[in-house]
Structures are given as C-alpha cells and as structure tokens.
C-alpha cells in the first residue's frame, strides 16, 4: 500500500510514466542531487517504499544513504510482561532519522509476539549488545539477528540456571554460572555449538566469581574469540576462550578509584569500559576508557560525558545506582533503569576521530516499563533488514515520536 501511495504521488508530479516504470526526463520534479538531498531527510523506514518507486529512485536512495546521511546503529528496547502470557513488545530508536518507533507484528507474526510464545517460561534477556535470549529448564532460545526476526532453539543446558552470563562467540553460545542454589556447582560452564547442535562442559568460572556469577552482577562483552565478564562493582574482569575451554585473568579494568560502577562493551575492536564516578546519590561524572589488548595494554581514557548530560542523568529526584551499555561499531548507547525515558549516545566521528555525545528521550518509556522486564539490544539496521521485514510480512515500524516536534 505504501508503495502504491508513493508511486501515485510521483505520477501526480510527472515523475513516473503511466506504467509505474522509469522516471521521465521531461517534467520530473525531483531528480539528481535534489532528490538525494530530499531523501536524506526521510526516515529510514520510509525509504523502503521510496526505493520501489523506480530504478532512478532506488539509486537515489542508495546514493543518499552512502554520501549524505548514512545509517547509524539502532537501539531496540524489548519489554516482557512479568504476568502470563508474558506478552512482548518492542521499541526502536533510529539516530539517523531521530525517531522512536513501535515495532508491530505483521501477518507473519514473527517480529514482536514470537518471543512471548517461545519464552513463556523464561525471562527475556539481552547480552553483549546484539544477543536476545531466554533460558529455562525446558529450552534455550536465542536470536542474534539485528531485528530478531528469526530465533533458534535448543535443548536446555544440563544445569538449571536462573540468571547465567550468556554470550555468542563465533558459532559457540557460552552459558556460564547463574545456577540455582541446589545445583552442585554454581560456577559451571556449558557451551552450545550452533553448527552441530551439541552441548559440552568446560572449565568452571574462576572461584572469585562464586558470589557474583549471575548476570545481575556481571557485565558481558564478546568479540569473535572470547567472552569477557566484568564484576560491575569491582571492575575485576575474566576472559573465556570457548575453543580452548579455558579462562584467563583476572584483569583490573577500573583505572579510576572514584568509579563505583562500571560496564563493558566492544566498539569496533576496542573493549570499552563505561564508569560512573562518585556514588549512587551523587554521580560526579561518566567516563569511557578503552583497550585493544585486554591484559596487555593499560586502559586508555577515551572521553567524558558532558556535564550538562551528567546533570540530566543525575537529576535531584533519582538515585543512579547503575547504568547499562550496548554498542555497534563506534556507536554506543548508555541508559539507566532509574530513568528509562532517557538514553545517551556517544559516537566516534570518522574524519576527526573525536567522540560526540547526545541524548534522546522516549516519553512513554517509564509507563511502558512498569511491571515489565526490559532488555536492550543494538544493531546496524539498513535497507536490507527493513526490506526483509516487509517482504516476509514479519512486521512494520510505526513512527511515534520525532525529535524536535
């Protein structure tokens, strides 16, 4: 329907022939640089039908995204009701278009409600930015897709786990710690090979993590080789290599004694540490550090959150005891459960290499999060991913809030 509307509008202005085909040279209202500039101001979700108007429009969309206003990683916020039937909903923020969207299920019904049926007996959780998962005594379900259009399912790990640390490292899904109290080893580690569909037991988590082996106390990051787990309150970090089945560390990733809470994520090939400075009742600042060789190089200070944004986070009416972080490439999001309506972002600029901060607000987030579990993921979303959602009928995106309006 959106395609037909776009094509009808183009015909009205003489930019399509009666067959909906190529753009006429004579009488075309939008073409060349003017069309590309116009498309650069169109939300990414609306560029999918725009690219179908004609071949020249499709080329203009591609050129506009490549040269004028490139896509930037989306933040997806997933809500799961704590009451049966554990309904799941999702919101997305597109920083390129500066809009918040509802993700609604299409006829295929896979985009938003699928996890509710799949995870009826398991809490919906996220890990290392891109992974959405649920673990229960009945099964393991996980989705690393940018928009979580598809899910994979496996038999559960042998140990009954309530809140494990989970990471997808290459083709191996690591499930560590978080076991129930009656399990013999709360630090046990199991690895699921997604290629063979088999589980294997590995060395347990290091003994110092005995009292903090649940994801509640650990921040998890992963690259193509290892999973990293950091104690949020101490900065003590361990690394696990699933191919070798071995643990490494500990590494001290708390370079500033004024940090009282920290989390980790990967920005490109750099492990980034975000730390809250001061105390929960008086946050003095937020700082980022990074390292490309954990354990070999000292953490390098990246940047500080601007004071005006720290003031927004601090707010006199709230106690800020924790933050979360997810990232894709050189784009990071930071958020706090104490102020769910406020999300900060930090981006490394290509040309200058400087880090730039900003913030966005989702006014409905506080009411949406009441009585629900909230999980955050981040991924690079482009025309290809949006076209797949449209073609498969998996869902649609409804813009609800545009910044500056």
Average pLDDT, the chain: 84
State the pTM of this model: 0.87
Rg (CA), the chain: 23
DSSP H helical ranges for 221-364: 307-314
Task: Tell me the pLDDT band of 116, cut-offs 50, 70 and 90.
Answer: low
Task: Give the Cα separation of 242 and 308 in Å (integer).
Answer: 42
pLDDT of residue 118: 56
Is residue 106 over pLDDT 90? no
Q: What is the pLDDT of residue 392?
A: 66
pLDDT band of residue 94 (cuts 50, 70, 90) is: very high
Token pair belonging to 28: 């075309």
Top pLDDT among 388 and 289 is at 289
pLDDT of residue 156: 92
- Residue 361 DSSP symbol: E
What are the residue ranges of helices labelled H in 264-392?
307-314, 365-369, 383-392
Helix (H) or strand (E) holding 60: helix 55-63
| Residue in 379, 327, 400 with CA at minimum distance from that of residue 144 | 379
Better pLDDT: 13 or 89: 89
**Res 270 pLDDT > 50:** yes
Alpha helices in 329-402 (DSSP H): 365-369, 383-392
Q: Is 216 helix (H, G, I), strand (E, B) or coil?
A: coil
Sheet containing 372-379: order of strands:
372-379, 74-81, 88-94, 99-105, 395-402
For the chain, give the percent of residues with pLDDT over 90.
48
What are the φ/ψ torsions at residue 207 (nearest 5 degrees)?
A: -55, -35
Q: Quick one: which of 110, 95, 102 has its CA closest to 77?
A: 102
Q: Which whole number is the average pLDDT over 242-270?
A: 93
**Backbone phi, then psi, for 390, in 5-degree steps?**
-70, -45
The reported pLDDT for the residue numbered 296 is: 66
Section 378-396 average pLDDT: 79
Specify the range with the lowest mean pLDDT, choosing from 32-36, 60-64, 222-226, 246-250. 32-36
HSE (CB half, 13 Å, CA atoms) of 167? 26
Angstrom distance (rounded) from CA 120 to CA 85: 7
Do residues 132 and 375 touch, judged by C-beta distance below 8 A? yes
- Average of per-residue pLDDT across 42-68: 86
**Which element (helix H / strand E) includes 291?**
strand 282-291
* Structure confidence at residue 120 (pLDDT): 59
Dihedral sign for Cα atoms in the order 236, 373, 87, 403: negative
Residue 2 scores a pLDDT above 90: no
Residue 305 has pLDDT above 50, yes or no: yes
Residue % of the chain over a pLDDT of 70: 85
| Packed helices 32-39 and 55-63: angle between N→C axes, nearest 10 degrees | 60
The pLDDT tens digits for 123-153 are 899 998 889 999 988 889 999 988 888 889 9
- Give the residue among 68, 70, 87, 71 at the shortest CA–CA distance from 79: 87
User: What distance in Å separates the CA atoms of residue 253 and residue 361, rounded to the nearest whole number?
Assistant: 30
CB 162 within 8 A of CB 214: yes
User: In the predicted model, what is the mean pLDDT of residues 183-188?
Assistant: 85
Which residue do the tokens 């038999």 mark?
A: 155
**How many CB atoms neighbour CB 83 within 10 A?**
8
Residue 178 has pLDDT above 50, yes or no: yes
């Amino acid at each position: 329907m959106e395609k037909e509307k776009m094509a009808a509008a183009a015909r009205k202005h003489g930019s399509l022939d009666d067959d909906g085909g190529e753009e006429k040279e004579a009488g075309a209202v939008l073409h060349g640089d003017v069309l590309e500039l116009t498309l650069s101001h169109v939300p990414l979700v609306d560029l999918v039908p725009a690219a179908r108007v004609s071949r020249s429009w499709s080329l203009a969309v591609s050129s506009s995204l490549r040269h004028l206003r490139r896509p930037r990683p989306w933040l997806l916020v997933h809500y799961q009701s704590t009451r049966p039937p554990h309904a799941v909903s999702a919101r997305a923020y597109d920083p390129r278009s500066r809009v918040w969207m509802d993700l609604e299920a299409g006829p295929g019904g896979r985009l938003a409600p699928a996890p509710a049926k799949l995870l009826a007996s398991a809490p919906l959780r996220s890990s290392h930015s891109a992974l959405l998962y649920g673990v229960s005594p009945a099964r393991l379900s996980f989705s690393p897709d940018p928009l979580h259009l598809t899910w994979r399912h496996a038999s559960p790990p042998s140990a009954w786990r309530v809140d494990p640390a989970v990471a997808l490292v290459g083709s191996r899904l690591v499930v560590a710690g978080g076991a129930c109290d009656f399990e013999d080893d709360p630090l046990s580690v199991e690895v699921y090979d997604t290629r063979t569909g088999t589980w294997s037991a590995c060395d347990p988590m290091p003994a110092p993590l005995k009292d903090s082996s649940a994801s509640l106390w650990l921040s998890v990051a992963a690259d193509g080789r290892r999973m990293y787990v950091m104690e949020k309150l101490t900065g003590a970090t361990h690394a696990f290599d699933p191919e070798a089945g071995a643990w490494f560390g500990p590494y001290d990733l708390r370079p500033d004694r004024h940090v009282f809470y920290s989390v980790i994520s990967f920005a490109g090939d750099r492990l980034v540490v975000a730390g809250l400075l001061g105390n929960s009742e008086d946050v003095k600042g937020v700082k980022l550090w990074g390292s490309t060789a954990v354990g070999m190089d000292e953490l390098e200070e990246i940047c500080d959150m601007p004071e005006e944004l720290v003031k927004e986070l601090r707010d006199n009416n709230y106690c800020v005891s924790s933050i979360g972080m997810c990232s894709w490439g050189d784009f990071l999001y930071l958020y706090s459960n104490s102020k769910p309506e406020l999300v900060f972002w930090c981006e490394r600029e290509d040309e200058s290499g400087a880090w730039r901060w900003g913030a966005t607000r989702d006014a409905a987030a506080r009411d949406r999060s009441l009585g629900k579990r909230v999980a955050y993921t981040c991924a690079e979303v482009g025309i290809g991913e949006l076209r797949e959602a449209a073609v498969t009928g998996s869902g649609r995106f409804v813009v609800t809030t545009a910044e500056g309006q």
